[in-house]
Structure 1
Amino acid sequence: MTDPVDYQRFKTSAVAEAEDVLFELKGKYGDFWQPPILPELPRPMNPKAVRDFYFKAMIYFAEGWEPRLAYFDASAVRGGNPRRANKYFAECLRPVMTHISEGAQSRVQPS
């Protein structure tokens, strides 16, 4: 996600789209299935910070299609140091990469 306004539009359209096909989805996944509620964007640690990252957040889906958010807050990285920024991004992406890795491992069939 790169633009918070676009993200809000996406959330609204995703909910509307899911509601349009809710009957079909409940038929496929069961009567208790509900569309996932996409997470809100957190407020920046320092809203007055001038710098910003191009990527604001990444949504990934855990078990049962539970949406999770990896949020990138430029105001959390002090001094604009590229090494700190790289370390910060790596930390933010760790749950995403772990999820991807675990999913890939679970799909590998033993020979």
Structure 2
Amino acid sequence: ALRAAEIAVGRIQSIAEIARDPQFVARGAFESATLEDGRPMQVPAVVPRLSATPGATRWLGPALGVDTRAILGGWLGLADEALRSLAEGGVIGGDAAAGGSAPTAS
């Protein structure tokens, strides 16, 4: 019905399918980054990609949980014991309770 009405349509792809799609790969839609622990990670490239100033990812952002202590402890007033309890219960990561550091782009 959509095609009959000349409405552009296409199959919806998962992120995993997009990352393997030859068209996205050929257009450089993803770039490689290195996590703090050394593991590689594919991330979306900067869009639009301009010929004179194509851009690049310089920083992946803070590591997951890096601000947990500041938010739960500092802003919301949870005591260290409460943070430890949350970490022991698996509600927050153990590293998140203590803070962490950010991954870097390669």
Q: TM-score band (shorter)?
A: under 0.3
Query: Which of the two has higher C-alpha Rg?
Result: 2
Of structures 1 and 2, the one with the larger relative CO (CA 8 A, separation 6+) is 2
Larger helix percent? 1
